[in-house]
Amino acid sequence: MTKALAPGATIGIVGGGQLGRMLAMAAARLGYHTAVLEPDRNCPAAEVTGLHISAPFDNGKALERFASVSDVVTYEFENVPVSAVRSLNEQLPVYPPPEALEAAQDRLAEKIFLNSAGVSTAPFASVDNDEELARALARFGGRGVLKTRRMGYDGKGQRVFRSATREEVKGCFAHMGGVPLVLEGLMAFEREISVIAARAADGSMVAYDPAENVHRDGILFRSTVPAAISPTTAETAREAAFTILSALGYVGVIGVEFFVMANGTLIANEFAPRVHNSGHWTEAACLVSQFEQHIRAVAGLPLGSTTRHADCVMTNLLGAEQEQATALLAEPDVMLHLYGKAEARPGRKMGHYTRLLPLDGELRHNPAGGSASLQKG
C-alpha cells in the first residue's frame, strides 16, 4: 500500500472478540468501514461492524468474500491459521505481516526469533517427551515453566516446576496433551512490564510508556502507568520493542512483555502481534489510543502522539465483576468499557475500567463533587 486509505474504505478484521470490537470502533471514528471474519455469530465485534462474515477462518469461500470487500486486512488475535492470512495476503495487504503471526504462534520459534534479533529471553528448551523434560529441568536447576508451544493464552497450557522430582515429570508430556512443548527457565524477576509500540509502513515508530502488570491465575488483572522502573529501563524496553518491529518489517501495533530483574535489566517474555490488553489504558489516558494507532498504521495514516495526559490504573472485569459497572460509573475519574458479551463466565474478560490520576500520581477530586482535577500543586 503506497498511499493512505481514503475515508469510506473498508478495513477487514480477522477475529471478532473485544479487540476486534475496539478496532472497529476506532476505525469508525476515522471514517472507515469494517468487515469482520469470525465464526461466532454473537461475537462482540458483530454489534459495531458493517459486515460480519460468520464462517471458519480457513473457509475458502468466506476468505474470498472477505478479501473482495476489504481494502486492507488486519487481525485481532494470534491463534488464526497462518495459511488463511497468507492466502489473504496474496490478494491484498495484510498487516501485521504473516511472518509476525507465524513467529508469535509458536513459543519456541518466538524465543529463537527474539534471541536472533538481540533481545534477551529466559533460557529455554524444546520438549517432546518426558525424558527431554527431565534433562531440561536438570539444566535449569529443577525450576521452569512448561508451556504448550501453540494455542496457549491467559495462563492456559502451562505448568510450573519449582523443584521437580522424577514423579512430577513422569507422564507430564501426556498430561499436557502430548503436543510440542517448551520449557522456560524460572526467572527471579521484580516485576512485569509491557510496552505497546507501533510501526508504520514508512518505518516510523512510536511507543507508549511501559505499564506495570499484575496477573491473577495467569490472566492480566491490572496495569499501572507509569511502571515503577527507572527511565533507563523504560527506554531500554521501548528500544527493544523497536528492534522487534524493525526485524519483522512490522506494520501496526505490537505488545511486548518483559520481566524486570533486580538490577533493572530486561528479559523478554513474549510479544503479541496485535493490540494488547495491557494497553487498554491508552484509550483513557492518551489522545490517541492503541486502537486508533493500529488503524492509523494499517491505513497508511501518520502515527499519532503517545503522550499521556494522566497517570492511570487499568483493571480487567472478569465474569460477574461486570456487575460493578453502575458503581464504577458513579466515580468521576473512571472510564468504563464493557464488551457486550452475553454470558459472564468465571475468568472471562467482560470489560475493563481505567482510573485516571494526575501526572504526579495523587488522585484529587473536585470539592464540589465534579470531575477530578488533573492539576499539580
Give the chain's domains with CATH numbers.
Answer: 1-94 (3.40.50.20), 123-184 (3.30.1490.20)
- Those residues whose C-beta lies under 8 Å from the C-beta of residue 52, and which sit 6 or more positions away, are 16, 35, 36, 38, 41, 43, 45, 46
Average pLDDT, the chain: 92
- For the stretch 96-130, pLDDT in tens is 999 999 999 999 999 999 999 999 999 999 999 99
Give the whole-number percent of the chain exceeding pLDDT 90: 85
How would you classify the pairing of strands 211-216 and 158-161? unpaired
CB 33 within 8 A of CB 94: no
Categorize the per-residue pLDDT at 372 as very low, low, confident or very high, splitting at 50, 70 and 90. Answer: very low
- For the stretch 6-19, pLDDT in tens is 999 999 999 999 99
- For the stretch 72-103, pLDDT in tens is 999 999 989 999 999 999 999 999 999 999 99
**Taking the model in full, what pTM does it have?**
0.91
The grid coordinates of residue 254 equal 505490537
Categorize the per-residue pLDDT at 153 as very low, low, confident or very high, splitting at 50, 70 and 90. Answer: low
Between CA 351 and CA 198, with CA 40 as vertex, the angle to 5 degrees is 55
What span, in angstroms and rounded, lies between the C-alpha atoms of 70 and 60?
15
- pLDDT for 373: 27
Task: Please check the confidence at residue 152 and state whether its pLDDT lies above 70.
Answer: no
What span, in angstroms and rounded, lies between the C-alpha atoms of 273 and 249?
12
**Residue 274, φ and ψ in degrees, nearest 5:** -175, 175
- For the stretch 301-355, pLDDT in tens is 999 999 999 999 999 999 999 999 999 999 999 999 999 998 999 999 999 999 9
Task: Return the exposure string of 150-171: e unless at least 16 CB atoms fall within 10 Å of the residue's CB, then b.
Answer: bebeeeebebebeebeeebbee
Across 6-20, 25-39, 66-80, 358-372, least confident range: 358-372
